[in-house]
C-alpha cells in the first residue's frame, strides 16, 4: 500500500481532515506533518512516503531538497495551492490541487499521482 504524507502547514486542521478522508478511502498509511519545513523534511527523511501532499508555502523549499536527495527523489509531490495560476508552478512538483476543492477532487488527484 502507498504511504502518503499530508503536510499542509498553512492549515493543520485541514491536513488532519484530508488524511482521515484518504485513510477512509483505503490509501494505506496516511500521516500528517505540520509546523516548519524542517520538521516536514525530517519526517520525509525518516520514512520517505510514496506521495507527498504539501502546501505551496513550504513546498518550494521541500521540493528543492527532495529532488537533490537520491533517497527521496522518487517521492511524488502534489502541491496544494489556494492561489494556483498556470505558469507559476513550483519546480519539481508532479501536480497541483486547487484549494479549496471537494473531497472527491483530492481523492482523484491522489489516485492519478499514484498511478503514474
Which whole number is the average pLDDT over 12-21?
Answer: 87
Q: How many CA atoms lie within 13 A of 80 on its CB side?
A: 26
State the pLDDT at residue 15: 85
58-79: b (≥16 Cβ within 10 Å) or e: bbebbbebbeeeeebeebbbbb
Distance CA 28, CA 11 (A): 22
Distance CA 53, CA 59 (A): 9
- pTM value is 0.88
Is residue 9 within 8 A of residue 36, CB to CB? The reply is yes
Distance CA 70, CA 74 (A): 8
Which whole number is the average pLDDT over 42-49?
Answer: 90
Give the confidence band of 105 by pLDDT, cuts at 50, 70, 90. very high
State the pLDDT at residue 5: 92
* 84 or 43, greater pLDDT: 43
Mean pLDDT score across all residues of the chain: 85
State the pLDDT at residue 84: 59
Whether CATH 3.40.50.2300 fits 4-115? yes
Q: Kindly list the distances between the CA atom of residue 14 and the CA atoms of 6, 69, 86, in Å, as whole numbers in the listed order.
A: 10, 28, 24
Which whole number is the average pLDDT over 16-31?
Answer: 87
The helix-helix angle for 103-115 and 12-24 (nearest 10°) equals 70
Amino acid at each position: 500500500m502507498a504511504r502518503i504524507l499530508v503536510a499542509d502547514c498553512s492549515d493543520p486542521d485541514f491536513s488532519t481532515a484530508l488524511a482521515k478522508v484518504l485513510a477512509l478511502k483505503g490509501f494505506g498509511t496516511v500521516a500528517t506533518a505540520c509546523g516548519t519545513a524542517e520538521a516536514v523534511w525530517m519526517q520525509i527523511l525518516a520514512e520517505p512516503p510514496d506521495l507527498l501532499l504539501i502546501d505551496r508555502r513550504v513546498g518550494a523549499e521541500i521540493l528543492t531538497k527532495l529532488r537533490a536527495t537520491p533517497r527521496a527523489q522518487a517521492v511524488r509531490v502534489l502541491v496544494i495551492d489556494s492561489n494556483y495560476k498556470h505558469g507559476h508552478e513550483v519546480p519539481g512538483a508532479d501536480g497541483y490541487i486547487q484549494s479549496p476543492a471537494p473531497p472527491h477532487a483530492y481523492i482523484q488527484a491522489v489516485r492519478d499521482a499514484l498511478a503514474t
